[in-house]
Amino acid sequence: MNHRPKKRFGQNFLRDSRIVDRILGAADLGADERVLEVGPGLGVLTDRLLGLAGEVVAFEIDRDLAEQLQKRPDPRLTVHLGDALQMDWAALLPHPPYKLVANLPYNISSQILFRILDHRDRFGRLVLMFQKEVGDRLCALPGTKDYGVLSVFCQLWFDIRKVVTVPPGAFFPPPKVTSVVLAFDPLATPRASVGDEAFFRRVVKAAFAQRRKTLRNTLIAAGFPREAVEAALVRAGIDPGRRGETLDLKEFARLADELAEAP
pLDDT band at 13 (very low <50, low <70, confident <90, very high): confident
Mean pLDDT of 228-237: 97
pLDDT band at 252 (very low <50, low <70, confident <90, very high): very high
pLDDT band at 20 (very low <50, low <70, confident <90, very high): very high
Residue-range domain boundaries for the chain:
7-186, 197-261
CB < 8 Å & 24+ apart, contacts of 50-58: 50/74, 50/76, 50/77, 52/24, 52/27, 53/29, 53/99, 54/30, 57/92, 57/93, 57/98
Query: How many Å apart are CA 263 and CA 253, to the nearest integer?
Result: 18
What CATH number belongs to 197-261?
A: 1.10.8.100
Return d(Cα 41, Cα 102) in angstroms, integer: 10
Around Cβ 110, how many Cβ atoms within 10 Å? Answer: 16
Give the CA-trace dihedral at 105, 107, 108, 110, to 10 degrees: 110
CATH hierarchy code of domain 7-186: 3.40.50.150
The predicted pLDDT at position 239 comes to 98
Mean pLDDT of the chain: 94
CA 105 to chain CA mean position, Å = 12
Residues 95-143: pLDDT tens digits?
A: 999 999 999 988 899 999 999 999 999 999 999 999 999 999 999 999 9
Q: Which residues contact 106 (CB under 8 A, 6 or more apart)?
A: 10, 12, 130, 131, 134, 175, 177
Amino acid letter, 99: K
When pLDDT is cut at 50, 70 and 90, the band that residue 163 belongs to is very high
**Pairing mode, strands 34-38 and 55-60:** parallel
Q: What is the pLDDT of residue 3?
A: 57
Q: What is the largest CA-CA distance in the chain?
A: 64
Band (pLDDT 50/70/90 cuts) for residue 10 is low
pLDDT at 29: 98
Of 228, 235, 240, 227, residue with least CA distance to 253: 235
Pairing status of strand 158-166 against strand 179-186: antiparallel
pLDDT of residue 172: 85
Q: Please tell me the number of Cα atoms within 13 Å of 259 on its side-chain side.
A: 31
How far is C-alpha 221 from the geometric centre of its chain's CA atoms?
28
